[in-house]
Structure 1
Amino acid sequence: MHDQANEGGTALAGFRRYTWWAVPGTNVGILILFTGEWILDGDVPIQPRVFSAAALAVEVAAVVALLNRRLSAGGHASRPRPPSGWPAAGVLAAIVLAACPLALRNYGLWPMAPAIMTAVAATYLDRRPRRWLITGVLALAALPGGAVSLASGDGRLVYAALFPPGITAFVVWAMLGPLWAWDITGRLDEARRLSAELAVKDERLRFAADLHDIQGHHLQVIALKSELAARLAEADPERATAEMRDVQRLATDALRDTREVVRGYRRTSLDDEIANATRILASAGIDTRTTAEPAAVTEAARHLLGLVMREATTNLLRHSRARHASIDYRVTGGVARLRVSNDGVFDVTGGAASGTGLRSLAERLGPAGGDLAWTRDGGRFEVTASLPAVPPEEPQAGVGTASSGEGRR
């Protein structure tokens, strides 16, 4: 099975394992069980048994190789090309496995191998060619057994003619159903991944647009006044000086506005970050459980915890294939604690645990009396940040408010 690293420990990997066992595993098991019993039957002549044993090994290998390649392309727009040589080998083996039992008038066994190869071939075709293949095989499946039964006069014509189309239709249905579900799941997972990436890009574009809108006018005027001052430097020094003072003032305003834009982007409150994270994760198809108890904490604490919330959300979208996440924020014993956890971590190396984002935030929380830790337990990743709700040098929010009220009175 391929692409396991990309699926990590999520339900998609479990569904893939189920599909693998349900499709290649089940068909190979049925083929080996029924054909193997016939091969081991001592009443069957030795020559057909030897040919069938060799053909069985070839078809089993062909079915596993072809279906494994087909499963690896689940969710992709274009279907993969079958591995070179395996389709022809599988078809030849199926012909041998059909001819040997049919020659001995075993009408129940001979269609099994061709039916499985027909289903495997159908998984590589688009809808219209697949319908033509299945319809043609179902129509032809009644002919070999019916012809042998008529020629031998054994009186089993109805069974010999109708059982092969029936078993072929059942095998095709049993194989295409799980693969169809797997393809849909792959497309949904790809859509979820794209939605998460778009959510992050939208936030970057919003910041870039705000910065451009605010600074575009300042920079354009600065450029024009600087050019004008350069032209007036010799002809009218006093006016050139005045223009340069305007340039200085505009540059100062531009610097102040830039800081305001950045501050507005980076100093969002924890409440805003939790609401934003819930929205983004929901758009990415991640079921998020949020518990946020309102409590009085300092603006600095809300700022730092907001940064942790933003970094945890970014890591969750970039470095996991999570299906479920939880956000828990509460103040207990004078300590504000934020926990963000998710399932589906597939890569810690080069991911959240070894990156600079969480480490730099941990260095910022330390001087503020806080702590930042992250742990991984199997496929679950959790970030925990804690800060004093009110630093020792600051009065409690309720006390400060009461005192101020008394002073006003």
Structure 2
Amino acid sequence: MRDVPVDPGTGLTNFRRYTWWSLLSVTAFFLIYSVARSRVMDAATPVPARLAAVAVLALTVVAVAVSVSRRLPPVPLGSPGTDPGGAPPVGWLVAGGAGGVALGVILLALGDYGLWSFGPAMTVSIIAAFLPGRRRWLLIAATAAGAAALGGVAAAASGRGSLFAAAFPAGLVVLTGWVTLGMLWAWDVAERLNAARRLSAELAVKDERLRFAADLHDIQGHHLQVIALKSELAARLMEADPVRAATEIEEIRRLAADALRDTRAVVQGYRRVTLEEEITNATRVLAAAGTDARMDLDPSASGLLRDPGRHLLGLVMREATTNVLRHSRARHVEVGYRTADGLARLTVANDGAPEDPGTGRETGPGTGLRTLAERLRTTGGELTWRHDGDRFVVTACLPVETR
């Protein structure tokens, strides 16, 4: 069940975009920096080596971009840290890892004992993001140890100092892993919070449905059980005592009428909402969905409209709230209720409305805006709605003497 939008003013889509660009920008910057500042760019370096380094660099950046996109699934979200299609992009991860290693080998062969580790460090941190918690840190630790050993051995073999050549690559691997996984951890936390917010709004709707179902079950179960017992008694008395049987049948008729009346009372109690109750409920549900709801209410207006009018405006408030939750990506909702010139006016405005103002505005018989507009017209009122850019505004007016 999805009665609420996934990103109703939470900014999760923008946060995903920010995380993606941050990871890609940092990774691409350091990969390009490692090549631009290395001996690959020296005039003495053979042209094939330069071309190979540039080609490997391009492959690595593209592979990282695709891998990060798959690690950050677009809204609506799946489980944290998983690809929405069901599996990590193994091909792109292998390509990125191979590109990072190849770039490191080229730079190490040219004697860049510090810059060579950027490629492996960046790509390994991206690969680790697709692994479970302990495995990702084991991969980073193993890579750091391997980078330290390889850098130290290469520097020692060339007769140069091995301390920096061993310490810098190991530290770089740990640092890039810490930064990359930290950013992705923040994304996972935001995803879980958004899922909890959606669940809270859905549970509020389900609780109300369960309450209504329980009330209906209690009333119908009691009446039907008594009707069944008296029907059996009337059937047994039909031949032996027709007068008593007729009495029992009349009692069955009365019980059926009582059951119908009580059922109608339950339904009426469920639907006989007031504007005040619906405004309170809308504030709670919209807050649970992560939407900023601002109320501008005139306290003196509540007593000026009689119960039928308050009931109609309550239905309008309920329908407007349902439309906000189901058919928009609203960040802000503004509700105003005032009386002026003999009219009670309710206004509900939200942003994040779809481009097509006619889409999805009817939610069922008797509750859609068009049906409510007809009901308000019969009482001398008016219900209008308009689409202004990404804003959708519903306005209901009723004479304060409505009975």
Pick the TM interval, shorter chain: 0.7 to 0.9
What is the CA-CA distance between 1:249 and the residue it aligns to? 1.0
Give the alignment's Cα RMSD to 1 decimal: 2.6
Aligned-partner residue type, residue 201 of structure 2: A
State how far apart, in whole Å, the 2-side matches of 1:377 and 1:176 are: 42
What is the letter of the counterpart of residue 76 of structure 1?
S
SS of the residue corresponding to residue 393 of structure 2 reads strand
Match of 1:19 in 2: 19
CA distance in 2, matches of 1:349, 1:189: 27
**Residue 382 (structure 1) aligned to one of 371, 393, 398:** 393
Shift of the 352–223 alpha-carbon distance from structure 1 to 2, 3 Å rule, reads same
The CA deviation at 1:24 is: 2.2
Residue in structure 2 matching 1:244, options 246, 249, 254 = 249
1:176 equivalenced with 2:181 (yes/no) = yes
Matched, 1:109 2:112: no
Secondary structure of the residue aligned to 2:345 is strand
- Matched residue of 2:116: which SS? coil
Instruction: Indicate how the Cα distance of structure 1 residues 218 and 8 shifts in structure 2: closer, same or farther if over 3 A, else same.
Output: closer
What residue in structure 2 maps to residue 58 of structure 1? 59
Asked whether 1:79 is paired with 2:92, we answer no
**Deviations 1:240-271 (CA, angstroms, capped at 9, x unpaired):** 11111101111111111112111111112111
User: Which amino acid letter does the alignment assign opposite residue 25 of structure 2?
Assistant: G
Post-superposition shift, 1:75? 6.3
Task: Indicate how the Cα distance of structure 1 residues 78 and 250 shifts in structure 2: closer, same or farther if over 3 A, else same.
Answer: farther
- Residues 1:318 and 2:326 aligned together: yes
Aligned to 2:347: 339
Q: Which residue of 1 aligns with 2:369?
A: 358
Cα drift, residue 191 of structure 1: 1.1
**Alignment partner, residue 30 of structure 2:** 30
Could you tell me whether the CA contact under 8 Å between 2:275 and 2:310 is conserved in 1? Answer: yes
Deviation at 1:40, TM superposition (A): 4.9
Counterpart check, 1:328 vs 2:336: yes
Return the match for 2:146 from 121, 125, 140. 140
Paired residue secondary structure (1:353):
coil
What is the CA deviation profile of residues 32-82 of structure 1, one whole-angstrom value per residue up to 9, with x for unaligned ones? Answer: 344256555434222221221221222122111211110017661563332
SS of residue matched to 1:85:
helix
Deviation at 1:272, TM superposition (A): 1.5
Over 3 Å counting, the alpha-carbon distance change for 1:346 and 1:64 in structure 2 is farther
The CA deviation at 1:88 is 1.8
* One-letter amino acid matched to 2:113: Y
Q: Deviations over 1:140-190 (max 9, x none)?
A: 2222222222121234x3332222122222222221222111111111111
Q: Please list, as runs of the form range in 1=range in 2, the aligned pairs for 1:86-101 lying within 5 A after superposition.
A: 86-101=92-107
Task: Report the Cα distance in structure 2 between the residues aligned to 1:100 and 1:119, rounded to whole angstroms.
Answer: 20
Partner of 1:259: 264
Matched-pair contact (CA < 8 Å) for 1:215–1:258? yes
Partner in structure 1 of residue 312 of structure 2: 304
AA matched with 1:302 = R
Contact 2:376 2:383 in 1 (8 A): yes
Q: Which residue of 2 aligns with 1:186?
A: 191
| Residues 353 and 374 in structure 1, CA contact (< 8 A), matched pair in contact too | no
1:308-352, Cα deviation, whole Å (9 max, x unpaired)? 111222233333444443322111222212222334446868964
Show the 5 A alignment for 1:187-206: 187-206=192-211
Point out the more displaced range, 53-62 or 69-78.
69-78
Among residues 381, 385, 400, which one is paired with 1:370 in the alignment? 381
Instruction: For 2:131 and 2:292, locate their aligned partners in 1 and report how far apart those are by CA, in whole Å.
Output: 35
- Distance apart, 1:97 and its partner CA: 0.2
1:197–1:317: 8 Å Cα contact kept in structure 2?
Answer: no
Percentage identity across paired residues of the two chains: 53
Q: Which amino acid aligns with 1:44?
A: T
Quote the Cα distance in structure 2 between the aligned partners of 1:27 and 1:79: 21
Cα gap change, 1:154/1:381 in structure 2, threshold over 3 Å: closer, same or farther? same
Match of 1:163 in 2: 168
Which structure 1 segments of 5+ residues have no match?
395-409
Question: What letter is aligned with 1:383?
Answer: V
